[in-house]
């Protein structure tokens, strides 16, 4: 039976997922080494059990250690995280999120990125009923 993915990941859970997406699989020690200001190995193990319960991580025993790997694609996790951010901060509005991003004077964006965004908008318009 497929697990449904809990969309709410804590900061530490996101850090662990980032390490796993980068390394594809890792032990507790390797995961902790890849985290900023790493918590104890016991805390990492606890977080990994939580992520496993949420359906984001798979565990495999290899000898005396366990290796962990993402159970979801990075794009799937990114969509879930973005959906949570949009719902929490922007009432579900992509337009409000984009406006907030461009309203920040520190936003740096080049012409190629703007062209890419325009292309995505044009594609989305064509797919409307």
pLDDT value at position 7?
56
pLDDT value at position 129?
87
3 state SS for the chain: CCCCCCCCCCHHHHHHHHHHHHHCCECHHHHHHCCCCCCCHHHHHHHHHHHHHHCCEEEEEECCEEEEEECCCHHHHHHHHHHHHHHHHCCCCHHHHHHHHHHCCCCCCCHHHHHHHHHHHHHHHHCCC
pLDDT value at position 4?
47
Model pTM score: 0.71
Q: What pLDDT digit, counting tens, does each position of 104-118 carry?
A: 888 888 899 999 999
Helical packing angle, 11-23 and 41-54, nearest 10°: 90
Half-sphere exposure of 75 (CA within 13 A, CB side): 0
Q: What percent of the chain has pLDDT over 90?
A: 62
Token pair, residue 24, equals 């594809």
Token pair, residue 97, equals 């999120």
Q: What pLDDT digit, counting tens, does each position of 75-87 carry?
A: 888 888 888 889 8
Indicate the Cα dihedral angle 48, 64, 39, 17, nearest 10°: -40
Token pair, residue 61, equals 């025993």
Token pair, residue 51, equals 């992520």
Query: pLDDT (tens digit, 0 to 9) for every residue of the chain, 129 residues total?
Result: 344 455 578 889 999 999 999 999 999 999 999 999 999 999 999 999 999 999 999 999 999 999 999 999 988 888 888 888 898 899 999 999 989 988 888 888 889 999 999 999 999 999 988
The residue extents of the domains of the chain are: 1-89, 93-129
pLDDT value at position 26?
97
Residue located via tokens 């740096």 = 108
Q: Does domain 1-89 have CATH number 1.10.10.10?
A: yes
């Amino acid at each position: 039976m497929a697990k449904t993915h809990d969309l709410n990941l804590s900061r530490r859970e996101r850090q662990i997922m980032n390490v796993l997406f980068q390394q594809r699989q890792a032990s507790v020690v390797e995961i902790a080494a890849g985290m900023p200001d790493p918590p104890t190995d016991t805390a990492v193990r606890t977080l990994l059990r939580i992520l496993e319960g949420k359906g984001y991580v798979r565990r495999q025993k290899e000898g005396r250690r366990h290796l962990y790997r993402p159970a979801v694609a990075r794009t799937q996790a990114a969509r879930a995280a973005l959906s949570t951010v949009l719902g929490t901060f922007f009432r579900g509005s992509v337009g409000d999120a984009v406006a907030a991003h461009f309203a920040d004077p520190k936003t740096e964006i080049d012409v190629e990125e703007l062209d890419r965004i325009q292309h995505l908008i044009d594609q989305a318009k064509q797919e409307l009923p």
